[in-house]
Every structure is written in C-alpha cells, then in structure tokens.
Structure 1
Amino acid sequence: MTITRDEDILGGEPRIDGTRVGVRHVAARVIDSGQSPAYVADQLDVSLAAVYEALSYYYDHIKEMRELEQKNEDAFDRVRESSLKPKETIQ
C-alpha cells in the first residue's frame, strides 16, 4: 500500500492508493474525532496498515497537511461568503 497523488482525484491531495480515501480524512477521524485506527479501517474499507501509513504520511508532512487544511478552509469561507443569502424582511 502506498500514498499517492493524482490531480484528477481529491484535487491532487495525498490519498491511499487505489481508493478515494484522503490522508487528511484518515487523520481527521483518528486524531480529531478520536476513532481508533482499527475502526477507521473497518469503516473506510481499507487495511489497518493503510490507515497507519496514512497517519505516518500525515505526521511526516505536517506542514503540507496544515497548508492543505488552511486552503480547504479558505475555499469553504469563499463559497459561504458568495452563496445566496436570504432576503431581508421589510418592516
């Protein structure tokens, strides 16, 4: 199992080869949500080794992962700001 990138899948973010499971997705579930690696592997239908490899990649490339997280948050903020907002009621 390896971590790979492809611009056509997940926007080029690192992912588990042969899947659409991103390294950041695995890290979010294990690190941020406190799910066990075994549970994450079962839920995402990947091997436990693949989960640990994704976590290893995450920690080996922490600066890159933080930059991707920030880029994703910025994009979300831009979409939210440009989305249609409900009309104000006239009183």
Structure 2
Amino acid sequence: MAERDTRRVARDLMSEPHIHGRRISVRQVYALVEERSEDPEAIADRYDLDVADIYHALAYYHDHPREMRNVEQERDDAMEDFRESIVRPEAVDPDSA
C-alpha cells in the first residue's frame, strides 16, 4: 500500500486556511497561480511542496467561496484598522525651518 501524503489545508497556524504544516496560505496560492499566472510546478518547487498541494489549495479556494470571501474581508478590515492606528507626526512646515 502506498504511503499517503498527509499535507492538506489546515487552520492550525494562522487565522486563514493554509497548507498543513506550512505558512503559505490558500489565498497566497490562489493569488500566485490565478492572479499572477505563475506555474503551479514552479510554486511547488519554490515552497518545497508537492504540486498536488498547490492544486489541493486551489480546489479548497474554489470549494469554499464564502469562507474565502470572509478571509479576504477579515484581512481587508485588519489592514484598515492598522492604517487607522498609525500615529503620524504632524506635518512639518518646510518654510518654518
């Protein structure tokens, strides 16, 4: 009996789905392959993954559209909160120097 690769999508390291035991998220895989048109095999090589992991992540993305939209919204909200929390120094008037 062939040994089965157990790497699949998980949520144990981050607040969004990622390849089990790795930090690369399903969202990152989707962006690389489908938005940037990168080759799945090249991504697998870059991140030391099986190409099956890449395709499984893509399948997960498409099989869970509501969850992935929620993840995107959570990330967008977090970035907005971060931007709002940055304390910017008051503008320096170059004429007053």
- Assess same fold via TM > 0.5: yes
Question: C-alpha separation between the residues in 2 aligned to 1:18 and 1:78?
Answer: 29
Q: How many residues align?
A: 88
Which runs of 5 or more residues in structure 1 are unaligned? none
Return the structure number with greater helix share.
1
Q: Per-residue displacement from partner, 1:28-48 (whole Å, max 9, x unpaired)? A: 111121111111111111110
Larger Rg: 2
Matched, 1:14 2:17: yes
Q: Secondary structure at the match of 1:10?
A: coil
The aligned counterpart of 1:5 is 11
4+ residue stretches of structure 1 with deviation over 2 A?
none
For 1:74 and 1:15, how far apart are their aligned partners in 2? Answer: 20
Greater relative contact order (Cα 8 A, min sep 6): structure 1 or 2? 1
Unaligned runs of 5+ residues in structure 2 are 1-6
Identical amino acids, percent of aligned pairs: 40
Whole-angstrom CA distance in 2 between matches of 1:30 and 1:4? 19
Matching residue of 2:3: none
Letter in structure 1 aligned against 2:39: S
State TM-score, norm by structure 2.
Answer: 0.81
C-alpha root-mean-square deviation of aligned residues, in Å? 1.4
Q: Which amino acid aligns with 1:67?
A: N
SS of the residue corresponding to residue 24 of structure 1 reads helix
Tell me the CA shift for residue 22 of structure 1: 1.1
Question: Which residue pairs with 2:52 in the alignment?
Answer: 49
Which secondary structure does the structure 2 equivalent of 1:65 belong to?
A: helix
